[in-house]
Amino acid sequence: MRLRSSMIHLGLGALTALACSPPAPPIQPAPPPTASTAAAPPPAEPDLSPVAAPRTVVAVGRWSSVAGTLKTLDAAGKIPLGLDSLLEKELGDRELLALLKLDGAIDGAVMIDPASTPNDPAFPAVVSLPLRELNGALALAGRARKPTPIRPGVFRIGFNKDLVCDLSVSVGDAPARLLCGGRERDLDLLVPWMTRGLPRDSFGGADLHLELRVGGLRERYKEELAVMGPALPVAASKMLQERGITDPVLLDMGAAAAKDVPRFTSDLDALLLDVKLDQTRAEASVSGTIKFKGTSSWATRFMTHRNGTSGSPPPIFWQLPRESGSASFYHGADSRMFEELRGSLATAVRAVIPPKALAPADARAIVELIATAPVSNARGIVTARGHLPARAPEKPIRPEDFKPADAVRIALQRSSDVAGWGLVGLEAKADPYVTWLKQLGKLYSSRTLQTSIQKKLSEKTKEPRAAALPWLSVHFVKPPRGVPENSFVLEMRSVTSSRTVWKELGSMHGHREHPKTGEIKASTSSFIAVSQDGEHTWIASSADVQTLGRILNAVRTGAPRENTLGAQEGLDALKVGTNTGGGFVIPRSIADTFNLLFSDEVFTGGRQSIEEALAVIPNKGKTPVFLFASGEDGEAPSNTARLVLQRGSFEDLMTLVSRAIKRRADASATPAGGPAPGP
């Protein structure tokens, strides 16, 4: 598939070429008519009757208004260059700028050429630019060469083998349009609809709308799909057998999964992406939608089975810690869908475990662990994540004084800080989760399983078995001090070697080699705690015991409200609506995670860029960005995910965009070899 990703640029380039072309030779006046010459008939009126979209259209895009978008962006971020200056700089011609209707829509479309073959498909693509009038465009085009009439109201202008354009009258928000494609056939196939049909379509008021129409692909390849559907299960079984899989259960599962593929393809209708800007509220939203036209596939039913369950966040959402860097809610799921998936996974694992790889009891325990993984019909599920309290700055260590013990200590601190704390809340009892964690811990601690793991590690690393001991051990412990007493706590101890992390910390020790002797190994612990709170269950994780206790105590029923999201300002948008899920993320929290995740050696430039950005943006990345999930139920369901930038986040983003535009303008204004622009 060869699609031109810069069709708009090509269209503008076409107009620029027109404006810059030398004037055409003057047309010699025709001789005066003789007395016997009949009067010329009046020109035929253009045909503006509606035209339906070609059946094989696969993609459509619309930018509803260049002027409106840039006005909104300028209001939020104070773009250094005005609209006219910005566009005139790009086009290089004021007369050309006056010809464009900047409050009209820019459209684009791609289709499959019905005359192309399945093995060598052609994808005609055309972009359509709105013009204020046709006559002015024809006069501009006449500078290069005389436009060729195609039909009443449509004229063709060509430049080179890569670009050909039509000037045409149009319905909709512009009386005329410039439409450009790579071939004349592209224009012949798409221009009638893009001037007399597409401009009549509405896409819900989005500033930018992109749409992939699966129906166009299905229409073009319907004969191939009809043949492929029955053949897929056979092909899947053959592929598994070629990879040495002969177990009948796995072969049947592979065939069943393959059989679902054409059903899912038949269900798919369209994929949509919409961007909306709200100038009054200085907000922006981006939404993605997957639309189905049926539910014949198990995958479709799995994705849409809870679309009828929606509403505002469950009450336990507002019990989440106020210090959360991100939080989400979900209105549960139908456990029957997960039970089917869980059973299939357990069956697959049972079939793939080699007979002599594990002790029979361990193999049975693994299958049982998967088969009994807790699935719940919880009405509400919530999650949150946050950072550990900031550490006090340490005294810098000179590179020559950096020791293996320092490498281990810093690596363990970073690992703990990056993980932070996590929390899951369910409107369900804790017993199934406690039982399952006990099974997990018992299985992992099995002596025969540990022996099998050690053997495999020794074979892989070519090291003695004692040197290849698993790096993680699991223990059940009493609730540490500060953690609710009714909690079930799982401690996971991991071992880190200074040799393992030494290279990652290269800048701290001057890129010296690890000392040949003096390797340091140290262990650290992280905890998972399951705590019952009336009819609710809280599952928390952290490497810091004090944080673990603080988080669990903050969310318990009856805890002070001022430490919860219920007291957090700026979350009103989450309190209303019919959403299947949602939540928020604070950009500053993401930036902090990046700074913790990457060492100075790996990410020095990136960390510096993040710190510079946080220093200049007005709201410091502290405004929550909202996330919403919603869905339509019924015979033709759909799922939508929407991201909303509130005023503070939008202003921060536009500040960065404005700085980028200014830097580009300054760079282009600096003569070669001249001084670099100031900050």
Least confident of 215-229, 492-506, 576-590, 614-628: 215-229
Judge whether residue 376 has pLDDT over 80. Answer: no
650: left (phi over 0), alpha (psi -120 to 50) or beta: alpha
The span from the CA of 357 to the CA of 366, in Å, is 13
Given a cut of 50, is residue 87 above it in pLDDT? yes
Mean pLDDT of 294-302: 92
- Ordered alpha helix ranges (H), 35-183: 66-77, 83-91, 94-99, 134-141
pLDDT band at 338 (very low <50, low <70, confident <90, very high): confident
Instruction: Tell me the sheet residues that pair with 127.
Output: 108, 180
| Cα–Cα distance measured from residue 485 to residue 219, given in angstroms and rounded to the nearest whole number | 63
Residue 558: is it exposed, middle or buried by C-beta count within 10 angstroms (0-12/13-18/19+)?
A: exposed
Across residues 38-55, what is the average pLDDT? 81
Does residue 359 register a pLDDT over 80? yes
Q: Can you give the length of the chain in residues?
A: 679
381-394 average pLDDT score = 90
Residues 6+ apart with CB under 8 A from 484: 529, 531, 549, 552, 553, 556
Q: Does pLDDT of 377 surpass 80? A: no
Average pLDDT of the residues in 618-645: 94
Q: Is 41 exposed, middle or buried (0-12, 13-18, 19+ CB in 10 A)?
A: exposed
* Average pLDDT of the residues in 416-421: 92
Name 138's Cβ contacts closer than 8 Å, sequence gap at least 6.
147, 155, 167
- pLDDT at res. 669: 62
Per-residue pLDDT at 7 exceeds 50: no
Write out the E strands in 455-552: 472-477, 488-497, 521-533, 536-542
Q: What is the pLDDT averaged over residues 209-234?
A: 87
Distance, in Å, from the CA atom of 158 to the CA atom of 24, rounded to the nearest integer, reads 14
The C-alpha atoms of residue 573 and residue 566 are separated, in whole angstroms, by 13
Give 574's pLDDT tier (boundaries 50, 70, 90): very high
Q: How confident is the model at residue 172 (pLDDT cuts 50, 70, 90)?
A: very high
pLDDT in tens, 96-123: 778 889 899 999 999 999 999 888 899 9
Quick one: average pLDDT of 589-611? 72
- Average pLDDT (351-379) is 84
**Residue at 634: amino acid letter:** G
Domain edges within the chain: 7-22+50-220, 306-337+349-637
What is the predicted pLDDT for the residue at 113?
94
Three-state DSSP string of 338-379: HHHHHHHHHHHHHHHCCCCCCCHHHHHHHHHHHHCCCCCCCC
The pair of structure tokens assigned to 425 is 């809340």
Q: pLDDT digits over 429-482, tens only?
A: 999 999 999 999 899 888 888 888 777 777 766 665 545 445 678 889 999 999
pLDDT on residue 343: 79
pLDDT band at 166 (very low <50, low <70, confident <90, very high): very high
How sure is the predictor about 28, in pLDDT bands with cuts at 50, 70 and 90? Answer: very low
Q: Is the pLDDT of residue 485 over 70?
A: yes
**Amino acid identity, position 503:** K
- Residue in the block written with tokens 């009757």: 49
State yes or no: pLDDT of 545 exceeds 70: yes
- pLDDT band with cut points at 50, 70 and 90 for residue 679: very low
